[in-house]
């Protein structure tokens, strides 16, 4: 098997396993890591160009949610007509990863724009997922959008930090691999 194929299999396996291991706990707890799904979709878009992988990850997320609700006693509070808006939420992250991948990926400096793009994409994902929940879940029929924004705003930093918890080590590993590849080409 070619090195590239092995690398891709390792990346896919790692991303799938990471989502499977963390999906049950959105912000985490003292015993559980927070959900890595946001970082997984962003990294999958950045590292691999396969639209099939995007679909596989969407299917995995849905299956994991179904298993958590039906088999593990996780609340179904968020499963409303707004649940379908996780597709554009994750698509924004995937596309941000794809866009970032077009930047010169062969130097450590490319991680700086990636960090900015990741921040913007995570912020957009937050607005899409929470805005759609407000509009389509039916949970807030008498609340104004301003009141909802104040209520949900408290979750913005945990939302970002949960993703950064996974993106920061991924950045570090990527920088190490870029540095090693540069050193090998220079020798």
pLDDT at 95: 97
Mapping DSSP onto H, E and C, the string for 129-181 reads: HHHHHHHHCCCCCCCCHHHHHHHHHCCHHHHHHHHHHHHHHHHHHHHHHHHHH
pLDDT, one tens digit per residue, over 112-163 is 899 999 999 999 999 999 999 998 999 888 889 899 889 899 999 999 999 9
CB 11 within 8 A of CB 4: no
Domain count, the chain: 1
pLDDT, one tens digit per residue, over 3-30 is 778 889 999 999 999 999 999 765 555 5
- Which value, in Å, is the radius of gyration of the alpha carbons in the chain? 18
Cα 93–Cα 95–Cα 98 angle in degrees, nearest 5: 115
**CA dist 129 → 36, 92, 94, 165, 168 (Å):** 15, 11, 15, 20, 23
CB 19 within 8 A of CB 37: yes
Q: Mean pLDDT of all residues in the chain?
A: 88
pLDDT at 183: 62
pLDDT, one tens digit per residue, over 33-74 is 899 999 999 999 999 988 999 999 999 999 999 998 998 888
- CA gap 121, 92 in Å, rounded: 6
- 106 pLDDT band (50/70/90 cuts)? low
CB 101 within 8 A of CB 172: no
- 171 pLDDT band (50/70/90 cuts)? confident
Question: Global pTM?
Answer: 0.90
Average pLDDT estimate for 73-91 = 92
Of all residues in the chain, the percent with pLDDT exceeding 90 is 60
Domain that holds residue 99: 3-186
Q: Which residue did the predictor score with more confidence, 93 or 1?
A: 93
Instruction: For the beta carbon of residue 19, count every other beta carbon within 10 angstroms.
Output: 21
């Amino acid at each position: 098997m070619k090195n590239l194929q092995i690398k891709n299999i390792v990346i896919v396996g790692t991303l799938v396993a990471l989502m499977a291991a963390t999906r049950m706990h959105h912000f985490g707890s003292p015993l559980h890591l927070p959900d890595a799904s946001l970082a997984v979709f962003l990294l999958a878009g950045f590292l691999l160009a396969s639209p099939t992988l995007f679909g596989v990850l969407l299917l995995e997320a849905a299956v994991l949610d179904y298993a958590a609700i039906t088999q593990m006693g996780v609340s179904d509070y968020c499963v409303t007509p707004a649940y379908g808006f996780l597709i554009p939420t994750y698509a924004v992250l995937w596309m941000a990863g794809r866009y970032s991948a077009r930047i010169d990926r062969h130097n450590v400096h490319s991680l700086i724009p990636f960090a900015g793009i990741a921040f913007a994409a995570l912020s957009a994902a937050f607005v899409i997922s929470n805005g759609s929940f407000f509009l389509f879940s039916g949970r807030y029929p008498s609340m104004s959008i301003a009141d909802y924004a104040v209520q949900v705003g408290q979750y913005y930093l945990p939302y970002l930090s949960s993703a950064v918890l996974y993106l920061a080590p991924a950045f570090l590993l990527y920088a190490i691999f870029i540095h090693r590849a540069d050193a090998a080409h220079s020798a």
